[in-house]
């Protein structure tokens, strides 16, 4: 039987669709032109400029601190929420489900504004901590939904078996439940991390003095900055770091299976 070329074409098309913009971005980070419309020779000027520009690095640092913190907190809280939603079916849990689900459908601008009003009314000083709280708030919902999906086909007799064999609650959770849920936790965590890193609308409202994050800074650069290609350079560096991390983690998992 002759193999169809359609799957191959589709794959190629999807790859081009996903990766071409990234390639263009990386290429433009070496483009001497400020606007990237035309190629005007290669340069490392944007990288040089980027390394001198401390405010961009401070924004990146803020972004990463918040992303790591919010991912961690939302994975813990989201997982426990998912567990409760899956295990117990009371009327209160139905309300709980609605509460968890709501942030997924509430428009960001509404959430940003209401969180800002809340923080101001509660007397919080706006800054990294309020951004962390805001990001955790919306990330919990995503993590909970991902983990909940994982729990749907989870065989709880394993837990009972572990308990029959004398494992305590802590041992069961740590040695049985957690490893089995790990892929769901990792997926939820990664989702939370990416959502937190590129959030603009909510972050803009709840950020305070000294807590400008990378997306907030980049949006502001559109108005007056001549240095937009600097962001291409930064994105290229982040891409390299991300690909290295993905490649490294794949190697690690392969080795542990072998």
204 binds another protein (CB under 8 A): yes
Q: Which of residues 130-149 bind another protein (CB under 8 A)?
A: 132
> How many chain residues bind another protein (CB under 8 A)?
50
- Using CB under 8 A, which of 116, 134, 143, 147 touches another protein? 116
Nearest to 173 by CA among 190, 187, 156: 156
Binding status of residue 117 toward another protein by CB under 8 A: yes
With contacts defined by CB under 8 A, name the span among 92-100, 148-156, 186-194, 211-219 that binds another protein.
211-219
Q: Does 169 bind another protein (CB under 8 A)?
A: yes
The answer for residues whose C-beta is within 8 angstroms of residue 136's C-beta and 6 or more apart is 69, 70, 73, 74, 77
Are 46 and 230 in contact, with CB atoms under 8 Å apart? Answer: yes
- Asked whether position 216 contacts another protein by CB under 8 A, the answer is yes
Q: Which stretch binds another protein (CB under 8 A): 115-123, 139-147, 158-166, 191-199?
A: 115-123
For residues 175 and 11, give the distance between their C-alpha atoms in angstroms, rounded to a whole number. Answer: 39
Q: Does 49 bind another protein (CB under 8 A)?
A: no
Q: Cβ closer to another protein: 7 or 132?
A: 132
Alpha carbons 131 and 127: distance in angstroms, whole number: 6
Q: How far is the CB of 144 from another protein (least distance, A)?
A: 15
Residues numbered 73 to 112 that lie near another protein (CB under 8 A) are 73, 76, 80
Min dist CB 8 to another protein, Å, is: 34
Question: Could you tell me which residues are beta bridge partners of residue 31?
Answer: 42
- Whether residue 69 contacts residue 211, with contact meaning beta carbons closer than 8 Å, is answered with no
Using the rule CB under 8 A, which residue among 170, 255, 256, 258 binds another protein? 170
Tell whether residue 173 is a contact of another protein (CB under 8 A).
Answer: yes
Q: Does 42 bind another protein (CB under 8 A)?
A: no
Does 217 contact another protein by CB under 8 A?
A: yes
Q: Tell me which residues touch another protein (CB under 8 A).
A: 33-38, 40, 53-55, 65, 69, 72-73, 76, 80, 113, 116-117, 120-121, 125-129, 132, 169-170, 173, 204-205, 207-212, 216-227
């Amino acid at each position: 039987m002759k193999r169809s070329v359609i799957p191959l074409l589709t794959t190629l098309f999807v790859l081009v669709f996903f990766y071409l913009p990234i390639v263009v971005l990386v290429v433009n980070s070496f483009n001497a032109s400020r606007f990237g419309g035309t190629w005007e020779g290669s340069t490392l000027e944007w990288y040089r400029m980027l390394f001198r520009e401390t405010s961009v690095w401070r924004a990146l640092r803020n972004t990463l601190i918040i992303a790591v913190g919010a991912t961690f907190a939302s994975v813990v809280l989201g997982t426990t929420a998912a567990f409760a939603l899956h295990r117990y079916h009371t009327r209160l849990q139905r309300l709980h489900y609605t509460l968890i689900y709501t942030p997924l459908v509430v428009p960001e601008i509404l959430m940003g504004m209401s969180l800002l009003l809340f923080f101001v009314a509660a007397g919080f000083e706006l800054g990294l901590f309020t951004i962390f709280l805001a990001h955790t708030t919306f990330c919990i919902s995503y993590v909970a939904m991902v983990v909940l999906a994982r729990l749907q086909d989870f065989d709880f007799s394993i837990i009972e078996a572990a308990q029959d064999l004398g494992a305590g609650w802590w041992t069961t959770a740590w040695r049985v439940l957690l490893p089995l849920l790990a892929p769901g936790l990792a997926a939820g965590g990664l989702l939370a991390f990416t959502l937190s890193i590129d959030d603009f609308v909510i972050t803009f409202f709840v950020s305070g003095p000294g807590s400008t994050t990378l997306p907030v800074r980049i949006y502001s650069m559109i108005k007056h900055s001549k240095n937009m290609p600097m962001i291409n350079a930064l994105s290229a560096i982040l891409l390299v770091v991300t690909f290295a991390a993905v490649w490294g983690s794949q190697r690690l998992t392969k080795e542990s299976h072998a």
